[in-house]
């Protein structure tokens, strides 16, 4: 039985699931509070797709262990992530929110799928190579090498058909598609147990960090969704700009300026004016940054307010997670029944 999740205002929200909707499984590793890159690269898209698809939102706490086995902060990080998701507009009544570790079928399906792929195939995964390079890793854990298989299990456990991703995640979806095909071929059933999911790339897949590099909490170049207007302004003052525009009056080149990229996203109504002022030199970088900071603060203000409200009623977040895990577990059990029957192990 599904327990209704409380809305932000404490009212019950009941949404019937339309089984004809295509299924989406989306998730993130719990690393704590979320930043603007998460908003533009994932959350906005997730919220927009809620009415069109049946969504499942996974807090991928097992995935977090692939690069750092320390679990001392994982619960708090998971709660922080759930708070930001809910504050951004994820409706848990429509879209179950749950922790991967609380649905044990993820690990069982991961084990089964790991029998259907070679280590050579996993070693060719370009995203893994990028991670090893970026994290300067000398040794790769067995779980890290095989984490695309766990990701495939996450998606296929809910028979996901669409996966919203950034471009860098497309190789992972291809591995999921390969594993779905291999399982269906090895263990044929009518109907086939698994669909082959399609990746759905978001428009703003990547928003650069304040230093122009990829936005990352570990680098310290982020603006968090929970930052105050004062914190946002302070951080925006450090943002890199056109290196040829040293002082007000110098003509600028907005298309190579990080701050202008932020204006494109958070201040589209004034983009033409900002471009003209930058190119003519009439608009200085400090004023440009302050205007951008104001627009970003206005964008995240409703989320920050909703997050603050939820933080004062953290028991609701725990209830939402428990309910999401119960609902996800019911779907996962049905999928594993299909898996066991196809394998003649049921």
Task: Judge whether 116 and 179 are in contact, CB under 8 Å.
Answer: yes
CATH number of 5-206+313-342: 3.40.50.620
Residue 91: burial class (beta carbons within 10 Å; 0-12, 13-18, 19+): middle
**How many of the other CB atoms lie within 10 Å of CB of 332?**
22
Start-end of CATH 3.40.50.620 domains in the chain: 5-206+313-342
Task: Judge whether 76 and 104 are in contact, CB under 8 Å.
Answer: no
- Cα angle 10, 79, 231 (rounded to 5 degrees) comes to 95
Crossing angle for the helix pair 105-114 and 170-186, to the nearest 10 degrees:
80
Q: What is the mean pLDDT of residues 174-183?
A: 96
For residue 17, pLDDT over 70 is answered with: no
Residue 30: burial class (beta carbons within 10 Å; 0-12, 13-18, 19+): buried
Start-end of CATH 1.10.240.10 domains in the chain: 229-304
For residue 149, pLDDT over 70 is answered with: yes
Q: Would you state the pLDDT for residue 19?
A: 53
Confidence of residue 139 (pLDDT cuts 50, 70, 90): confident
Structure tokens at 255: 């298309």
Q: Would you state the pLDDT for residue 151?
A: 93
Q: What is the mean pLDDT of residues 162-166?
A: 79
Identify the three-state secondary structure at position 166.
coil
CA distances from 166 to 37, 45, 151, 175, 333 (A): 11, 11, 15, 15, 29
Task: Judge whether 249 and 278 are in contact, CB under 8 Å.
Answer: no
Enter the pTM of the model: 0.88
Task: Judge whether 302 and 153 are in contact, CB under 8 Å.
Answer: no
Residue with tokens 């206005």: 298
91/85 Cα distance (integer angstroms): 9
Instruction: Give me the percent of the chain exceeding a pLDDT of 90.
Output: 73
- State the fold for domain 229-304: Tyrosyl-Transfer RNA Synthetase (1.10.240)
33/64 Cα distance (integer angstroms): 14
Identify the three-state secondary structure at position 337.
helix
Q: Would you state the pLDDT for residue 14?
A: 42
Please state the length of the chain.
346
- pLDDT by residue (tens digit) across 120-132? 999 888 777 777 6
């Amino acid at each position: 039985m599904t327990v209704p999740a409380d809305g932000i205002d404490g009212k019950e929200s009941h949404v019937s699931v339309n089984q004809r909707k295509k299924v989406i499984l989306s998730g993130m590793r719990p690393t704590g509070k979320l930043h603007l890159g998460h908003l533009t690269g994932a959350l906005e898209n997730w919220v927009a797709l809620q009415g069109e698809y049946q969504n499942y939102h996974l807090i991928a706490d097992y995935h977090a262990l692939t690069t750092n086995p320390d679990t001392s902060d994982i619960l708090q990080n998971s709660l922080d992530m759930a708070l930001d998701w809910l504050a951004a507009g994820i409706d848990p009544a429509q879209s179950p929110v749950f922790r991967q570790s609380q649905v044990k079928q993820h690990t069982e399906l991961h084990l089964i799928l790991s029998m259907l792929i070679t280590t050579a195939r996993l070693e060719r995964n370009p995203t893994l190579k990028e991670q090893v390079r970026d994290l300067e890793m000398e040794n790769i854990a067995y779980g890290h090498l095989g984490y695309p298989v766990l990701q495939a299990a996450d998606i296929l456990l809910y028979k996901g058909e669409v996966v919203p991703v950034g471009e860098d995640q497309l190789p992972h979806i291809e591995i999921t598609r390969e594993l779905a095909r291999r399982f269906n071929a090895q263990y044929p059933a009518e109907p086939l147990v698994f669909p082959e999911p399609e990746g759905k790339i978001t428009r703003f897949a990547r928003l650069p960090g304040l230093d122009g590099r990829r936005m990352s909490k570990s680098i310290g170049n982020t603006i968090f969704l929970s930052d105050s207007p004062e914190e946002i302004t302070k951080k925006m003052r450090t943002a890199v700009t056109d290196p040829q525009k040293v002082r007000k009056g110098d003509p600028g080149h907005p298309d190579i300026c990080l701050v202008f990229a932020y204006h494109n996203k958070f201040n589209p109504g004034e983009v033409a004016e900002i471009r003209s002022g930058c190119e003519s030199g009439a608009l200085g970088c400090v004023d440009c940054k302050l205007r951008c900071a104001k627009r970003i603060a206005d964008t995240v203000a409703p989320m920050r307010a909703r997050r603050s409200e939820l933080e004062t009623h953290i028991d609701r977040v725990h209830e939402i997670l428990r309910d999401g895990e119960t609902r996800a577990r019911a779907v996962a059990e049905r999928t594993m029944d299909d898996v066991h029957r196809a394998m003649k192990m049921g």
